[in-house]
Structure 1
């Protein structure tokens, strides 16, 4: 249901989850803007595909084209300068002694949300939308629901606002994320996500798999590929899950 009095700012990386979140927001809010962050990420190709993905989203629906407003790109290269991870340097992806993969960038989502809240304040937007998920993820603590709820409280206390943080993918798996995209934009949106977005941690876009571009072996590709296979199997079996 559209909420005409609300405007949303979507954290949009150019990947599968955030593209689904853009469509989700466009179905609910009369005004939607997007924000992306250049933080020295190894898979910087995601920043390259963003404009084309947004253009294709606009082309899918006149209503979406009307609602989808300005895109903002923020330089957060300081993250790459102060972190030592597999997403910000050319090192092999591995598990650390603390049980987290070295693709975890400490503080990244916290800083993303804080900067997005600052921009939303200036732009008169009262909803932040992020693709965080703790059902089917790599274990990042800044993707958890408790983190997002605590952050919402902190942002509102610190800015004297009533900003709402929405995470529509929090409790669904990757198969249901594909199904959610289909429910929002049909096969056209699913095809856009498959062929237009970028999720691979290594920035590989040489081969187009049935689930999209990627190396096929990094954790992000594995999650996406497994989710797509389950999504296709559920469709064949006639099984649907409410997202």
Structure 2
């Protein structure tokens, strides 16, 4: 674990779903900022079990990262169920998980990260938090255009203009593969953190908490599980 705090006077708001990526981002933020808060979004997702996973991961951080756990501040929940009904997808309705006519997976929720970042920026403004932290990644992702570097850079500009102040969006996983994300978690918190991510975080689109895999709980065949499984296997095979 890094032994020096890079931004002791700064604060961060982590967009926190309770999945592998946001759990790693939370650990990353705790090693870099003096105060860290989290925000989750209820958009009517079918895999609502992730809302429970959020709490388990947050609570577990105190045990696996005791040196920085005192920096973890309040958690916030934003009700976006109305948006979820508008932006219907296989994550919010009973639809097959497949590719659509545009070549995008039906799990794509139109504008999800744009909405999340806008709400997070508004919350951060009222909370006096300087930096937003998100787990977006364009290297190992499910084909979502709102995860791309260009999209996040554009949102940074738009939010800064709209709020008339600098808005910083940190995306520590943007250029990492899933294997590298596992490696980063291990670098940040060792085996205790990776064990917490395996046991408590949730990624599976089907909300499966019954089947335990080497990399955690999930159905094993949805796109999210496949990405997580391949990344874990690649990381575990490294010398």
Q: TM-score range by the shorter chain?
A: over 0.9
Q: Does 1:133 align with 2:137?
A: yes
1:67 paired with 2:71, answer yes
CA displacement, residues 195-235 of structure 1 (integer Å, 9 cap, x when unaligned): 1000000000101100000000000000000000000111x
Counterpart in 2 of 1:223? 227
d(CA) in 2 for partners of 1:166, 1:217: 30
- Please state if 1:154 is matched with 2:154: no
CA contact (8 A) 2:20 2:203 kept: yes
Displacement of 1:50: 1.2
SS of the residue corresponding to residue 35 of structure 2 reads strand
| Aligned residue in 2 for 1:122 | 126
Question: Which residue of 1 is the match for residue 189 of structure 2?
Answer: 185
Which ranges in structure 2 are unaligned for 5 or more consecutive residues?
A: none
Question: Counterparts of 1:200 and 1:106 in 2: how far apart (Å)?
Answer: 19
State the superposition RMSD in angstroms: 0.8
How far 1:79 sits from its partner (Å)? 2.0
Query: Which one is further off, 179-188 or 1-10?
Result: 1-10
The answer as to 2:39 corresponding to 1:35 is yes
4+ residue segments displaced more than 6 Å? none
Q: Deviation at 1:78?
A: 1.3
Distance 1:69 1:63 in 2: 15
Match of 1:176 among 164, 177, 180: 180
TM-score normalised to structure 1 length: 0.95
Match of 1:143 in 2: 147
- What 5-or-longer segments of structure 1 have no aligned partner? 239-243
Contact 2:65 2:193 in 1 (8 A): no
1:131 Cα deviation after fit: 0.3
TM-score (norm: length of structure 2): 0.97
Determine helix, strand or coil for the equivalent of 1:73. Answer: strand
SS for the counterpart of 2:140 is coil
